[in-house]
Chains A and B, each alone.
Chain A
Amino acid sequence: RKEVEQDPGPFNVPEGATVAFNCTYSNSASQSFFWYRQDCRKEPKLLMSVYSSGNEDGRFTAQLNRASQYISLLIRDSKLSDSATYLCVVNPEQFYFGTGTSLTVIP
């Protein structure tokens, strides 16, 4: 079983839409959770850390559900510049990345 499972998409949404990504993890001992954004042929960039209480940064909201072992990312009012691959990361003792979810925001 993979450490982290993520729907690869692609998600194609119009500008202004709300889109949500989920990611499940297998190791219940995982302590740290993150969302990274990766543009084509670039390095991953940290988008948000995910805290137990949930956290919000502008149009982005991350949630953690330990009971069901998943994390989520909600993007509101999508912009063209949000088009990228979004990677979830779970850290029981090392970083495990999901395969990434591709998002394209359409004008």
Chain B
Amino acid sequence: QKEVEQNSGPLSVPEGAIASLNCTYSDRGSQSFFWYRQYSGKSPELIMSIYSNGDKEDGRFTAQLNKASQYVSLLIRDSQPSDSATYLCAVKGSQGNLIFGKGTKLSVKP
């Protein structure tokens, strides 16, 4: 069974700090990786996708991928209270579906 692992948290950071969210996956052949944000009671919304080793930046968000270590992370710079949510890591499965981690709950304190 292919797995995606995340720390459940909660991860608590002060406003303005960098939040670091981590994810490991079991399928060494995975090629596509996604970070979704989910507010309480809402559906997941895409933050970033990443396909190649290295960093990918989009505004305050940076995704990092290391396929050799089977590790993907999301950094949120200058964290804001509005970033408080559950962050879901997802990896493409062999049938085209996404395999989701259980999510890390982030709390940004004013």
Q: Answer whether A and B are interacting partners.
A: no
